[in-house]
Amino acid sequence: KSAYYLALSFFILGFLISIFISLLISTVVILAELLLVSYEFKTKKLGLPGNITISLLIGMIFLYGGFITDMLSKMILLFFLAFFSNMSREIMKDIEDVKGDIDRITLPKRYGIKNAKIVSAAFVVTTILISFLPYYFHILSIYYLYAVLLDDLLFALTIWYLNANISRGQKISKVAMIWGMMCFLLGGI
């Protein structure tokens, strides 16, 4: 019960702080808070909708930053990179946990592990294909381009591990996502 009140306090505090920044930011905060609540009480058990919810929240970090810095148009592409890469990893985790997810209707449980692997790989391929766009559109520097080549290699490796060792694949995906954040930082130089 005390965790509930603590969470509620942080939600209210986050919203109040966002009002002082701007009305647009407070709208993003409310949307994020609604997504968190919907995940906890509904979409987590539904599998794919839960994956989408978490991936939206991951991507919204960039939208939030874009609104604050008045550079939303530049951050939309980073939102999609974060969203697609996280979707792939979420599906990989569902494949890995397929036997333990008794109360969840995950993608691999509903459509089979093979189809879930195809969907996960499609998100990885999409991530790799659009990974060059932040450099192409002059959002990030040449340092990003050099760094993202390694990131793309790591993501490509996760496709191979989808069939070889799903546990290792999702761990490599996590490393690729962390390195992806470093790519964004390097690209800002």
Condensed to tens digits (0 to 9), the pLDDT of residues 155-176 reads 999 999 988 899 899 899 999 9
Tens-binned pLDDT, residue by residue, of the chain (189 aa): 788 888 888 888 888 888 888 888 888 889 998 999 999 888 988 889 999 999 999 999 999 888 888 888 889 999 999 999 999 999 999 999 888 777 788 889 889 999 999 999 999 999 999 999 999 999 999 999 999 999 999 999 999 998 889 989 989 999 999 999 999 999 987
Beta strands in the chain (DSSP E): none
% residues pLDDT > 70 (the chain): 100
73-187 placed in CATH 2.40.50:
no
Between CA 47 and CA 135 the distance in angstroms is 34
Parse the chain into domains and list their residue ranges: 73-187
Between CA 44 and CA 153 the distance in angstroms is 30
